[in-house]
Amino acid sequence: MDENLLEVIETILANGKDMTIATLREDGFPQTTTVSYVSDGTTIYFGCDPTSQKARNIARNGKVSLTVNLDYTDWNQIKGLSMGAMAEQITDADEMKLMGDLMLKKFPQVAEYVSDNLDVLALFRVKPKVVSVLDYSKGFGHTDQVEL
């Protein structure tokens, strides 16, 4: 793997705020939702209601697709990621604490919405398998694809 490309992926993940994640519904149709996320390297974390459709979808099938796009004012500035990944709910206390610390650092307002009772949230780890890096500064629609 090209180290420069890995750095670009990690930078986009660190600077993005929301991702659109697609999961597979029980009837086979994809479902997309937008969620705020945090990252640690290329590992992505997010939380949601444990009874939500996406939580149920991931419990049934951990294969997901997602996109992260950085803000831009000109098409020549478009940068983003599209990836195929595996998602799974996390229960390890150390990993949950890491995710909580990352969330509070990136989104301090999260403290207003989350109590000490984490049972109201399902926390997920997303590990990319295939990533397309979109970078219009290299030309209209330019992408580099990598496997992790």
Residues 90/124, Cβ–Cβ less than 8 Å: yes
The two beta strands, 143-147 and 79-89, are unpaired
Q: Please tell me the CATH code under which domain 3-147 is placed.
A: 2.30.110.10
pTM: 0.92
Tens-digit pLDDT string for the chain (148 aa)? 688 999 999 999 999 999 999 999 999 999 999 999 999 999 999 999 999 999 999 999 999 999 999 999 999 999 999 999 999 999 999 999 999 899 999 999 887 776 655 567 899 999 999 999 999 989 998 999 999 8
DSSP result, 25-71: -TTS-EEEEEEE-EEETTEEEEEE-TTSHHHHHHHH--EEEEEEE--
Residues 67/81, Cβ–Cβ less than 8 Å: yes
Return the structure tokens found at 7.
């750095």
What are the residue boundaries of the structural domains of the chain, listed by start?
3-147
